[in-house]
Amino acid sequence: MSRTLGRIAGTITAWFDSRAQAAQGDPRGIDWLRQVPFLAIHAGCLLLPWVGTSAAAVAVSIALYAVRMFAITAFYHRYFSHHAFRAGRVAQFAFALLGASAAQRGPLWWASHHRHHHVHADEHEDSHSALRHGFAWSHLGWFMARGNFRPRLELVKSFAKYPELVFLDRFDALVPLALALGLYLAGGLQMLVWGFCVSTVLLYHATFSINSLAHRVGSRRYATRDASRNNLWLALVTFGEGWHNNHHHYPASARQGFFWWEVDLSWWGLKLLEKAGLVRDLRAVPASVRDASLPKEHP
């Protein structure tokens, strides 16, 4: 039995090693060894029939989706990537920590690659352009590639000076592991599966859809140089990120739903944090920029 298990383990290891070696020197080659945690989180969802369901587990899953989505959209994206508002160092670290718990790597990695995306939006150099590289690559292939694993620190120099943010980036697995362990200790396997695996996988693919779907499906209000689109359904599940054509038209705004009917939960959350004194100087889109390229009458 032990010999059989050893052979199976050896075969699997050899396969992963061959894939890793194949990726050497190829920036688009997938580093499969590094993807084991990502794949394991997805595999954890398959345990749902065995762990069952409880109101507490589902509530924790929904809460963790909401809190971490806000940390990603409001802070990883609008704050770290675009300086759309200001925050003190404590609030900055607290929300970076929450963002890191979403297992989408550290804030410096996330923000630097997003800034690179805006510089080269839908050009060949854009790492996750659905237009140039296809749906699957834009959705999840790009961040698995060896060439995109390191943060582009030269693009986030103002935040790279904070050692606590560098630490989160260097040891990006620690916070998700701590969250997963805490959930398991608090509620066993059911809480781990619902609170961490299910919540994180939903969070993954909602976030990834902005790279893949929001450049292919929806309407265009502004004639940006990229293929960005506005999509109500994506905006609802990503707390406002689906107003992606708006965002590419004016990335500096902390509000991506430019009009009152464009639901932007992250903007409303930031307004509450502003009232509490945790953030300040929220940038909104100037009326002249907002109304550019619009017909004289709009809904």
By the 8 A CB rule, do 229 and 244 touch?
yes
Tokens of 226: 């990229």
Nearest to residue 79, comparing CAs of 278, 285, 282, 249? Answer: 282
| SS percent in the chain: helix, strand, coil, step 5 | 65, 5, 35
Total residues belonging to the chain: 299
Q: Three-state SS for 219? A: strand
Tokens of 2: 């032990």
By the 8 A CB rule, do 256 and 267 touch?
yes
Tokens of 144: 């698995």
Q: What is the pTM of this model?
A: 0.87
Q: Three-state SS for 232? A: helix
Q: Which residues pair with 86 in a beta bridge?
A: 280
CA–CA gap between residue 93 and residue 99 (Å, rounded): 10
Q: 185, exposed or middle or buried, with CB in 10 Å at 0-12, 13-18, 19+?
A: exposed
Nearest to residue 211, comparing CAs of 100, 94, 131, 103? Answer: 131
CA–CA gap between residue 193 and residue 101 (Å, rounded): 15
β strands within the chain, DSSP E? 86-87, 279-280
Enumerate residues 6+ apart whose C-beta is below 8 A from 284. Answer: 253, 254, 255
Enumerate residues 6+ apart whose C-beta is below 8 A from 5. Answer: none
CA–CA gap between residue 170 and residue 24 (Å, rounded): 21
DSSP summary character for residue 66: H
Digits of tens for pLDDT over the chain (299 positions)? Answer: 445 444 543 444 344 344 444 444 455 678 888 899 999 999 999 999 999 999 999 999 999 999 999 999 999 999 999 999 999 999 999 999 999 999 999 999 999 999 999 898 888 888 878 878 888 888 988 888 888 889 999 999 999 999 999 999 999 999 999 999 999 999 999 999 999 999 999 999 999 999 999 999 999 999 999 999 999 999 999 999 999 999 999 999 999 999 999 999 999 999 999 999 999 999 999 999 999 876 654 43
Phi, psi of 279 (to 5 degrees): -135, 165
